[in-house]
């Protein structure tokens, strides 16, 4: 598969915001996209069942070509880790189900898979986000919230990724909060310490930053002309 596994240093760092911005740019360029958010907790109960807000946002950003049931088939009500939410709700959730939820993307030009929480957050009793990423074999896009402490969190996350022999495609320092301390230089500080591209995203869907990220990914991965 050509594509990315989007992970983060924690929950609430803006994985879905960054993923949607990137998908929007790729969709505008005419790529056939597939997107998977295999499990989502904290889903709102609606008349037709549990609604995965993040999965739906990703689906819409990718052009809404796939049914929501394909994008996010595993949905949980409690706003906890998927492992804990599944236990509370009597749902069987394991690595095999997570992998099965990521199938059906073979014909896509580019696939984006988003995890839940941080890289080492539990998805099931037998699987962390790290295990799902390793099984899929996709390079990782690491999203970091631009706030005090994020350098430590980012470096620890990237060390964990590389210890597993996985590839970091890029790092995004995202202004998850509306106001960011102007005295911080987290993007520059991380860029000095990492061999990977480090991009800054403004608060909300930063179209310019998403376009720069797409350009890099298309060039590096050969997606634009079908190269591996």
- Enzyme catalytic residues: 37
Task: Tell me how far apart the alpha carbons of residues 180 and 11 are, in angstroms, rounded to a whole number.
Answer: 18
Task: Tell me how far apart the alpha carbons of residues 212 and 182 are, in angstroms, rounded to a whole number.
Answer: 23
Task: Tell me how far apart the alpha carbons of residues 214 and 226 are, in angstroms, rounded to a whole number.
Answer: 15
Is residue 22 within a helix (H) or strand (E), and if so which, with residue range? helix 15-28
Q: b/e for 193-226, b at 16 or more Cβ within 10 A? A: ebebbbbbbeeebbeebbbbbbeebbeebebeee
Q: Which two tokens stand for residue 80?
A: 């906890």
With the CA atoms of 100, 102, 105 and 110 taken in that order, what torsion angle do they form, in degrees rounded to the nearest 10? -160
């Amino acid at each position: 598969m050509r594509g990315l596994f989007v992970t983060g240093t924690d929950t609430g760092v803006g994985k879905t915001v960054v993923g949607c911005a990137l998908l929007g740019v790729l969709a505008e360029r005419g790529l056939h996209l597939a997107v998977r958010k295999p499990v989502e907790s904290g889903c709102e109960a609606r008349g037709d069942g549990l609604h995965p807000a993040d999965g739906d946002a990703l689906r819409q950003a990718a052009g809404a070509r796939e049914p929501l049931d394909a994008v996010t088939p595993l949905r949980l009500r409690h706003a906890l880790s998927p492992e804990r939410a599944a236990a509370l709700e009597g749902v069987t959730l394991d690595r095999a189900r997570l992998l099965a939820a990521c199938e059906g993307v073979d014909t896509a030009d580019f696939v984006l898979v988003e995890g839940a929480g941080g890289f080492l957050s539990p998805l099931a009793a037998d699987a962390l986000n790290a295990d799902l990423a390793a099984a899929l074999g996709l390079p990782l896009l690491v999203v970091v919230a631009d706030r005090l402490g994020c350098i430590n969190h980012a470096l620890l996350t990237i060390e964990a990724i590389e210890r597993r022999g996985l590839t970091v495609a890029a790092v995004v320092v995202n202004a998850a909060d509306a106001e960011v301390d102007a005295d911080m230089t987290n993007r520059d500080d991380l860029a000095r310490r990492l061999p990977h591209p480090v991009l800054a995203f403004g608060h909300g869907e930063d179209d310019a930053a998403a376009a720069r990220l797409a350009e890099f990914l298309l060039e590096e991965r050969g997606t634009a002309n079908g190269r591996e």
